[in-house]
């Protein structure tokens, strides 16, 4: 496993931000601990960060993380320990769980993620079986993985509002399926606990709600350690009633782009940043890096060609884009062997359990790295995010600690977002008592 | 760091025991989770195990562990994560803590332990200062450690039943001092939270209470996974009103030795064990391996010479032995490069965070390895105790998982013991709500 070489300029303002984070460590940890008494922590989460040297910010928060297989295997024990805490919060009596993955049977990397997740949960003391939503799977199938192990997908049965697979009555259902195509009937009104809650899925979730929550968290955090909140927070705006095919709603998007660009320009001036500001326009729901583009002027929105319009109009599984998020672009100045790299941080319960770089050789520093057809190289972090050292300021684990802190701000935002968007009359499926 | 080579016979009954533990993993983890809803988990704990190939059992449970410096530095993140959980339970508002160590200023290894502990707590987000009970320390002193770091010991001030060091008002006091010489006045009736609680110290604690609690836990566990409880539990008895100098109370000890030897003989016969049974006689309170001897016949007790009597009569810091524990001896058949080795497991909160081997070249397989003047070599475990694999039965991490399980049984016993011996009218210092 090569050591990720970080070519981020180590003398610019980012070092100052990192130093502030390292020096405020007990204050930060204490503040985060307090927050988890207010909010229900999501079961698991991954956060894409961008580090531009002058700014370190989350750009995407995934509540159904799909890359556990990319973590450094040396840190699986951290996952197991955190999983033990996570399980305690679902329902302390849980010891059998049905894991429902995405409907991929040929994406071997994704299935490796499911196998890793199953492995972590087994080591934390759970019986875990994998039930698929694919209607064509009518008997259990075993799929061989690259590491010599295999994974078994089983058909799900619903009876009396309880899901089961053959001879296995799970007391909880864990989704690793982001519900992009809506909430399947089989998952509705279950008596079992479902985690994450259904409203965390892309059927209803909106990125703009997440980043609105992040605004609040980032502002409070920035006040806590006395920094400009912009240093950890990308500006954003959202537009509804969009139809890219019919050029409907373009004015809102173009105006938002220009408004955000003008904010960035001022900030770049203030911090002496010489780069060109840019903005990312992406679907307000959905994942897999579809329906996403880089824009440097509002007028570009009116000039999209047919191919670009098609690309923006649909996301995963053909879902139509009707709301978009217009978000300040954050350069990624981290490179590994000249390739652009973006850190992805993984969390279970409230614990950072590892991360990896998404490294892409064919993309620029102002482009989204999680794109369809993208062949990213996952490069596991060599150290954990738990080993900051106040006495060694240029110490690489310090950068990772800062990454872990900003990722946890996004996790807090996700918790707040889920609390605010919860429309169920029953209680949340995870309990809210302090751990 | 060399890989510990385990020469334990891998085909004997211990493998069967290990297999039962591995195969019952979810059942075991679920049962342990349930137990932590009944009991308050000790803040930290280390357990000495003995593995005789046919038997795997705890022989000593330390509630003030002093070897954090011996753990594999690669697993410090596990300690940090577990510490975050431990802190949450003390009082969620804690973010400053006074650590009170043993009164050693020249035992550099012990001070390295304190530095490691301080480091772990800082990374978990605590401000930690170290206050010493040594009356001669009237201003802060810095002591250089072997790793180039240093440690600062400060004099403690007591005012309004609150302890502090210069300009630092801690909200909790963490003891790494086992109170062998009694509970100093300065620690009595404090308004601050004191962890572990004072009755965990050797001023009042008795090993016989611990092993009585362990009896209950081991029996329940043995029923859970359907094994003979003897395989994980050393027989014991205790005698009071002992005075080794005046040959007082010898009959009780001699009779207990013979009674236990006869039980062991029957068990050895049942399991086809060819070794000579032996018994350990040790002080019922106190640590540091003082006041301890190996006996193979009750009559030996009457024939102790003056030197042996002196050795048994006092423990650490000159404390008189008046109660003894008579405990079944468990052979240690683990060796590393021909030297006898004993595994020591470390826990923070309810999590196993690592361990090391106490390796001693000058001692036999039926002797206590934690002896005064002993120069043991700590050899950090290469893997954690969190990575069992049901599919690889001769896999070394499986042995470590079994070690982690048995150590946690001792931790549960310590929790039960502390609950039963708590005579305070106020609530325990750690809260009892499920985590």
Cβ <8 Å between B81 and A84: no
pLDDT computed for residue B327 by the predictor:
95
Element (DSSP H or E) covering residue B408: helix B396-421
Residue A144 inside a domain? The answer is yes
Percent of chain B with pLDDT strictly greater than 70 = 80
Residue A200 inside a domain? The answer is no
Both B214 and B338 in one domain: the answer is yes
Give phi and psi for A176, each to the nearest 5. -120, 30
Closest to A157 (Cα-Cα) out of A170, A174, A176 = A170
Both B29 and B175 in one domain: the answer is no
Residue where one domain finishes, among candidates B137, B162, B195: B195
Both A243 and A370 in one domain: the answer is yes
For A128, which residue in chain B has the nearest alpha carbon?
B26
Cβ <8 Å between A33 and B434: no
Of the two residues B243 and A360, the one the predictor is more confident about is: B243
Query: End-to-end CA distance of chain A, in Å?
Result: 36
Of the two residues A434 and B337, the one the predictor is more confident about is: B337
With beta carbons less than 8 A apart as the criterion, state whether B399 and B367 touch. no
Both A104 and A77 in one domain: the answer is yes
Q: What span, in angstroms and rounded, lies between the C-alpha atoms of B426 and B434?
A: 19
Q: Angle, to 10 degrees, between the axis of helix A25-38 and the axis of helix A13-23?
A: 70
pLDDT computed for residue B9 by the predictor:
32
Both B218 and B131 in one domain: the answer is no
* CATH code of the domain containing A158: 3.40.50.11280
For A124, which residue in chain B has the nearest alpha carbon?
B29
Both A57 and A170 in one domain: the answer is no
User: Three-state SS string across chain A, please?
Assistant: CCCCCCCCCCCCHHHHHHHHHHHCHHHHHHHHHHHHHHCCCCCEEEEEEEECCCCEEEEEEECCCCCHHHCCHHHHHHHHHHHHHHHHHHCCCCCEEEEEECCCCCCHHHHHHHHHHHHHHHHCCCEEEEEECCCCCCCCEEEECCCCCEEEEEECEEECCEEEECCECCCEEEEECCCCCCCCHHHCCCCCEEECCHHHCCCCCCHHHHHHHHHHHHHHHHHHHCCCHHHHCCCEEEECCCECCCCECHHHHHHHHHHHHHHHHHHHHHHCCCCCCCEEEEECCCCCCCCEEEECCHHHHHHCCHHHHHHHHECHHHCECCCEEEEECCCCCCEECCEEEEEEEEEECCEEEEEEEEEECCCCCCCCCCCCCCCCEEEECCCCCCCCCCCCCCCHHHHHHHHHHHHHHHHHHHHHHHHHCCCCCCCCCCCCCCC
pLDDT computed for residue A361 by the predictor:
65
Gyration radius of chain A over CA positions: 21
Average pLDDT over residues B134-155: 93
pLDDT at B179 over 70: yes
Both A172 and A211 in one domain: the answer is no
Both A288 and A400 in one domain: the answer is yes
Q: What span, in angstroms and rounded, lies between the C-alpha atoms of A14 and B210?
A: 53
Residue B361 inside a domain? The answer is yes
Residue A29 inside a domain? The answer is yes
pLDDT at B117 over 80: yes
B384: nearest CB among A77, A85, A351: A77
Element (DSSP H or E) covering residue B57: strand B56-62
Q: Which residues of A touch B73 (CB under 8 A)?
A: none
With beta carbons less than 8 A apart as the criterion, state whether B57 and B233 touch. yes
Closest to A49 (Cα-Cα) out of A39, A41, A38, A60 = A60
Q: Give the pLDDT band of residue B371 (cuts 50, 70, 90).
A: low
Both B160 and B189 in one domain: the answer is yes
User: What's B297's DSSP letter?
Assistant: S
Residue A228 inside a domain? The answer is yes
Both B62 and B85 in one domain: the answer is no
pLDDT computed for residue A383 by the predictor:
60
- The residues of B whose Cβ lies within 8 A of any Cβ of A are 25-30, 32-34, 37, 74-78, 80-82, 84-85, 87-88, 92-93, 95-96, 122-127, 351, 384, 386-388, 390, 433-435
Both A235 and A341 in one domain: the answer is yes
- Enter the pTM of the model: 0.84
pLDDT at B368 over 70: no
β partners of residue B339: B336
Q: What is the pLDDT tens value at each position of chain A, 435 positions in all?
A: 233 333 343 334 456 788 889 888 889 999 999 999 999 999 999 999 988 878 899 999 999 999 999 888 877 888 999 999 898 887 667 689 999 999 988 888 899 999 999 999 988 888 999 999 999 999 999 999 988 889 999 999 999 999 999 999 998 999 999 998 889 999 999 999 999 999 999 988 999 999 999 999 999 999 999 999 999 999 999 998 888 888 888 999 999 999 999 999 999 999 999 889 999 998 888 765 556 788 999 999 999 888 888 877 776 666 677 889 999 999 877 666 666 778 899 999 999 988 888 877 666 666 665 554 455 566 666 666 666 665 554 455 567 888 899 999 999 999 999 999 998 644 444 444 443
Label residues B353-389 b or e (16+ Cβ within 10 Å = b): bbbbbbbbeebebbbbbbbeeeebeebbbebbbbbbe
Cβ <8 Å between B384 and A33: no
β partners of residue A326: A237, A281
For B351, which residue in chain A has the nearest alpha carbon?
A81
Residue A259 inside a domain? The answer is yes
pLDDT at B379 over 70: no
pLDDT at B307 over 90: no
Cβ <8 Å between B85 and A88: no
Judged by average pLDDT, the poorest of A57-66, B71-80, B137-146, B381-390 is: B381-390
Both A34 and A179 in one domain: the answer is no
Residue A392 burial (10 A CB sphere; 0-12, 13-18, 19+): exposed
pLDDT computed for residue B178 by the predictor:
93
Residue B106 inside a domain? The answer is yes
pLDDT at B429 over 70: no
The predicted-structure confidence for B263-296, as pLDDT tens digits, reads as follows: 999 999 999 998 899 999 988 887 655 567 889 9
Q: Which residues of A touch B125 (CB under 8 A)?
A: 25-26, 28-30, 32-33
Percent of chain B with pLDDT strictly greater than 90 = 52
Give phi and psi for A152, each to the nearest 5. -110, 120
pLDDT computed for residue B2 by the predictor:
31
At B379, is the secondary structure helix, strand, or coil?
strand
pLDDT computed for residue B377 by the predictor:
62
Q: Which residues of B touch A34 (CB under 8 A)?
A: 92-93
pLDDT at B6 over 70: no
Average pLDDT over residues B49-69: 91
Element (DSSP H or E) covering residue B310: helix B306-313
CA A105 to chain centroid: 22
Q: What span, in angstroms and rounded, lies between the C-alpha atoms of B22 and B13?
A: 14
pLDDT at B431 over 50: no
The predicted-structure confidence for B11-41, as pLDDT tens digits, reads as follows: 344 567 888 898 888 899 999 999 999 999 9
Average pLDDT over residues B169-197: 94
Q: What does the mean pLDDT of chain B come to?
A: 84
pLDDT computed for residue B404 by the predictor:
92
Residue where one domain finishes, among candidates B156, B175, B195: B195
For chain B, the domain total comes to: 2
Residue where one domain finishes, among candidates A169, A195, A221: A195
Cβ <8 Å between A85 and B435: yes
Closest to B122 (Cα-Cα) out of A389, A34, A396, A407 = A389
Domain with A367, as residue range(s), is 13-66+205-423
pLDDT computed for residue B237 by the predictor:
95
Q: What span, in angstroms and rounded, lies between the C-alpha atoms of B407 and A157?
A: 40
Average pLDDT over residues B389-405: 67
Q: What span, in angstroms and rounded, lies between the C-alpha atoms of A276 and A278?
A: 6
User: What's B7's DSSP letter?
Assistant: -
pLDDT computed for residue B181 by the predictor:
83
Closest to B129 (Cα-Cα) out of B159, B154, B157, B158 = B154
β partners of residue A101: A176
CA distance B78 to chain A (A): 6
Residue A8 inside a domain? The answer is no
Whether the predicted interface score ipTM is above 0.85: no
């Amino acid at each position: 496993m090569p050591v990720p070489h970080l070519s981020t300029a180590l003398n610019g303002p980012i070092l100052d931000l990192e130093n502030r984070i390292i020096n405020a460590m007990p204050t930060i940890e204490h503040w985060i601990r307090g927050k988890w008494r207010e909010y229900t922590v999501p079961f698991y989460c991954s956060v894409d960060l961008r580090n531009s040297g002058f700014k370190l910010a989350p750009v995407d928060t995934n509540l159904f993380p799909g890359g556990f297989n990319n973590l450094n295997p040396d840190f699986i024990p951290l996952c197991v320990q955190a999983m033990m805490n996570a399980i305690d919060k679902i329902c302390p009596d849980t010891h059998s769980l049905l894991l429902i993955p995405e409907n991929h049977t040929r994406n071997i990397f994704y299935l490796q993620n499911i196998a890793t997740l199953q492995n972590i949960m087994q080591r934390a003391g759970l019986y875990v079986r994998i039930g698929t939503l694919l209607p064509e799977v009518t008997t259990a199938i075993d799929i061989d993985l690259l590491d010599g192990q295999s994974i078994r997908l089983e058909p799900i049965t619903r009876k009396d509002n309880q899901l089961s697979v053959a001879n296995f009555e799970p007391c909880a259902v864990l989704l690793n399926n982001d519900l992009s195509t809506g909430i399947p009937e089989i998952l509705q009104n279950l008596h079992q606990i479902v985690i994450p809650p259904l409203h965390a899925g892309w059927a209803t979730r909106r990125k703009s709600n997440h980043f609105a929550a992040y605004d609040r968290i980032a502002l409070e955090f920035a006040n806590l350690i006395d920094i400009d909140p912009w240093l950890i927070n990308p500006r954003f705006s959202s537009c509804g009633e969009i139809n890219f095919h019919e050029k409907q709603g373009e004015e809102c998007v173009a105006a938002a782009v220009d408004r955000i660009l003008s904010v960035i320009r001022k900030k770049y001036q203030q911090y002496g940043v010489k780069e060109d500001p840019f903005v990312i326009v992406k679907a307000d729901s959905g994942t897999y890096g579809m329906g996403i583009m880089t824009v440097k002027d509002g007028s570009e929105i009116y000039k999209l060609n047919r191919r670009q319009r098609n690309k923006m109009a649909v996301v995963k599984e053909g879902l139509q884009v009707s709301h978009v998020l217009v978000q300040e672009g954050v350069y990624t100045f981290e490179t590994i062997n000249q390739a652009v790299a973006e850190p992805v941080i993984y969390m279970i319960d409230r614990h950072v359990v590892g991360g990896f770089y998404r490294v892409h050789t064919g993309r620029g520093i102002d482009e989204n790295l999680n794109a369809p057809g993208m062949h990213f190289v996952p490069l596991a972090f060599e150290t954990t995010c738990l080993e900051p050292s106040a006495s060694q300021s240029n110490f690489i684990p310090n950068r990772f600690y800062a990454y872990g802190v900003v990722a946890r701000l996004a996790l807090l935002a996700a918790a707040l977002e889920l609390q605010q968007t919860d429309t169920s009359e029953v209680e949340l499926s995870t309990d809210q008592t302090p751990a």
